[in-house]
């Protein structure tokens, strides 16, 4: 070893092959992997060595995508930099320039924007219709349609998609199906088992679960995941090893969290339905045997002053996200659906009184009393 400082400071002592038997997978915070000679390098291209360059593949992102594919009972998966990039990768794996997509008109605001403001630059045409009526979806299918896109539980009104009806319609027309399963999570629903081709997650939400990481996962049929992975690699939409590690660590408590959060949400939905200052409570009647999810959307009655409701929430914070362990509230008009025109919002029923509640793991009775207190304090 050369004795000059400049060389020693770079080549610090490190035995890459030493096996530590660590209980958790270490973070492979490395942009690339090294090779002892040219034969070893060649073995990567022959498929005998898995890793070369982290944008293409990394043990931490592999571990995350494998874990979610297993939970979803899907053939394969790919981890991405965000839910949005997972959605884009899935779309680009199923539609090419000149193709057409039929998508649900009540998808997450960011997805709405991607479909309407960006996909035309890829030469992909989009028609948005209500998926509550599959006849409307059928009418929207054209010669060049390749994909039907929707969410298993919609945002913010929590409409539960008829997945088997969708699969049947798609197979009649030889189309791919892709479902955003962010709100339901594989704890409640496993759309791939119903025959859905691609399932996407904003892992930023329940899979990560702690509001400390932005990430996405796309799982589904091997052939489509191979294509989507190619898009992720080329577009540089890969997830960093640290963020993959954080997401996977969070995912280990998904079962416990969803169980508690779904229970709390049900208790709150029942309490708010009995409150005369709440015009409407949106909470699904049946998502799965395990529960109905942890989001409750309410429309306050006009007897409530909305600004003052937000000011009276005490320990419940206003946050433009969902799915953390803490109960939070968001205001679709100002956040998730801000990019939509008034007309588009009106069409899907979002008005100034609609508020989305993301229920956490706290004690249910504390959550109920905090919301009741906020409503009481803001009556006009
Ligand atoms: C249902 C749904 N899908 C996709 C996304 C986008 O995910 P991300 O913010 O991780 O890109 C969100 C974000 O809120 C979402 O709620």
The DSSP output letter for 378 is T
pLDDT of residue 287: 97
- List all residues whose CB is within 6 A of at least one atom of ligand 1: 82-84, 108, 110-111, 151, 155, 180, 182-183, 202, 204, 214, 216
Taking the CA of residue 183 as reference, the ligand 1 atom at the shortest distance is: 1
Say yes or no: 267 and 119 in one domain: no
Between 22-36, 222-236, 287-301, the lowest mean confidence (pLDDT) is in: 22-36
Among residues of the chain, what percentage have pLDDT more than 90? 87
Ligand 1 centroid to Cα of residue 49, in Å, is 34
Taking the CA of residue 87 as reference, the ligand 1 atom at the shortest distance is: 4
pLDDT exceeds cutoff 80 at 339: no
Say yes or no: 304 and 223 in one domain: no
Choose among 269, 259, 257, 262: nearest CA to 324: 257
The rounded distance, in Å, linking the Cα atoms of 42 and 115 is 41
Q: Which of 203, 235, 251 is the last residue of a domain?
A: 251
Ligand 1 centroid to Cα of residue 186, in Å, is 16
**pLDDT one-digit tens code per residue, 118-155:** 999 999 999 999 999 999 999 999 999 999 999 999 98
For residue 2, tell me if it sits in a domain. no
**pLDDT one-digit tens code per residue, 153-212:** 998 899 999 999 999 999 999 999 999 999 999 999 999 999 999 999 999 999 999 999
Say yes or no: 93 and 241 in one domain: yes
For residue 123, tell me if it sits in a domain. yes
For residue 115, tell me if it sits in a domain. yes
Say yes or no: 247 and 258 in one domain: no
Say yes or no: 136 and 263 in one domain: no
Torsions phi, psi for 234 (to 5 deg): -70, -40
Taking the CA of residue 203 as reference, the ligand 1 atom at the shortest distance is: 10
pLDDT of residue 16: 64
pLDDT exceeds cutoff 70 at 51: yes
Strands 145-151 and 198-202, how do they pair? unpaired
What integer best gives the mean pLDDT of the chain? 95
For residue 236, tell me if it sits in a domain. yes
Say yes or no: 83 and 199 in one domain: yes
Ligand 1 centroid to Cα of residue 212, in Å, is 14
Number of domains in the chain: 2
For residue 239, tell me if it sits in a domain. yes
Say yes or no: 157 and 139 in one domain: yes
Domain that holds residue 329: 254-376
* CATH assignment at residue 182: 3.40.640.10
Say yes or no: 242 and 259 in one domain: no
**Residue with CA nearest ligand 1 atom 7:** 83
Contacts of 349 (CB under 8 A, 6+ apart): 157
Mean pLDDT of 358-377: 98
The rounded distance, in Å, linking the Cα atoms of 2 and 246 is 38
Could you tell which of 205, 243, 324, 358 is best to mutate to test the pocket of ligand 1, judged by most ligand atoms within 8 Å of the CB? 205
pLDDT of residue 69: 96
pLDDT of residue 17: 64
Q: Which of 224, 251, 278 is the last residue of a domain?
A: 251
pLDDT of residue 338: 84
The DSSP output letter for 27 is P
Give the predicted TM-score (pTM) of the model. 0.95
Ligand 1 centroid to Cα of residue 165, in Å, is 25
Say yes or no: 140 and 232 in one domain: yes
**Residue with CA nearest ligand 1 atom 13:** 202
* CATH assignment at residue 327: 3.90.1150.10
Contacts of 201 (CB under 8 A, 6+ apart): 68, 83, 86, 180, 181, 182, 185, 207, 216, 217, 218, 219
Ligand 1 centroid to Cα of residue 108, in Å, is 7
Contacts of 236 (CB under 8 A, 6+ apart): 55
Q: Which of 251, 283, 302 is the last residue of a domain?
A: 251
pLDDT exceeds cutoff 70 at 357: yes
Q: How far is CA 49 from CA 34, 42, 58, 235, 337, in A?
A: 11, 9, 12, 24, 45
Mean pLDDT of 308-327: 96
Mean pLDDT of 354-379: 97
Ligand 1 centroid to Cα of residue 39, in Å, is 43
For residue 34, tell me if it sits in a domain. no
Ligand 1 centroid to Cα of residue 247, in Å, is 15
Say yes or no: 224 and 109 in one domain: yes
pLDDT exceeds cutoff 70 at 1: no
Say yes or no: 312 and 242 in one domain: no
Ligand 1 centroid to Cα of residue 143, in Å, is 30
Say yes or no: 63 and 182 in one domain: yes
**Residue with CA nearest ligand 1 atom 14:** 321
For residue 21, tell me if it sits in a domain. no
**Residue with CA nearest ligand 1 atom 8:** 83
For residue 10, tell me if it sits in a domain. no
pLDDT exceeds cutoff 80 at 80: yes
pLDDT of residue 146: 98
């Amino acid at each position: 070893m050369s004795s000059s400082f400049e060389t020693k400071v770079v080549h610090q002592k490190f035995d890459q092959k030493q096996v530590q038997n660590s209980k958790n997978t270490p973070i492979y915070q490395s942009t690339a992997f090294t090779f002892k000679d040219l034969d070893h390098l060649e073995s990567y291209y022959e498929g005998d060595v898995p890793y070369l360059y982290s944008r293409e593949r990394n043990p931490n992102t592999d571990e995350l995508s494998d874990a979610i594919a297993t939970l979803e009972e899907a053939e394969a998966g790919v981890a991405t930099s965000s839910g949005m990039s997972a959605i884009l990768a899935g779309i680009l794996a199923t539609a090419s320039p000149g193709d057409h997509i039929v998508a649900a008109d009540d998808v997450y605001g960011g997805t709405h924007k991607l479909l309407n403001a960006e996909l035309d630059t890829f030469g992909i045409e989009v028609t948005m219709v209500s998926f509550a009526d599959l006849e409307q979806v059928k009418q929207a299918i054209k010669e060049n349609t390749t994909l039907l896109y929707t969410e298993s539980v919609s945002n913010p009104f929590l409409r539960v998609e008829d997945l088997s009806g969708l699969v049947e319609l798609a197979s009649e027309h030889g189309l791919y199906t892709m479902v955003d399963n962010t709100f339901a999570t594989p704890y409640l629903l496993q759309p791939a088992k119903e025959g859905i081709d691609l399932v996407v997650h904003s892992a930023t939400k329940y899979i990560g679960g702690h509001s400390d990481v932005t990430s996405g996962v796309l799982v589904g049929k091997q052939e489509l995941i191979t294509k989507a992975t190619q898009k992720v690699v080329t577009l540089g939409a890969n997830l960093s090893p640290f963020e993959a590690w954080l997401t996977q660590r969070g995912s280990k408590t998904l079962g416990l969290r969803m169980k508690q959060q779904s229970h709390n949400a049900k208790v709150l939905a029942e309490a708010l339905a009995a409150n005369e200052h709440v015009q409407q409570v949106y909470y699904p009647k049946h998502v799965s045997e395990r529960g109905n999810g942890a989001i409750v959307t309410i429309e306050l009655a006009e007897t409530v002053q909305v600004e003052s409701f937000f000011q009276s929430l005490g320990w419940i914070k206003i946050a433009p996200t969902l799915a953390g362990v803490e109960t939070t509230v968001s205001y679709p008009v100002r956040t998730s659906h801000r990019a939509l025109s008034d007309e588009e919002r009106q069409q899907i029923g979002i008005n100034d009184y609609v508020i989305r509640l993301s229920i956490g793991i706290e004690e249910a009775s504390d959550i109920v009393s905090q919301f009741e207190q906020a409503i009481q304090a803001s009556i006009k």
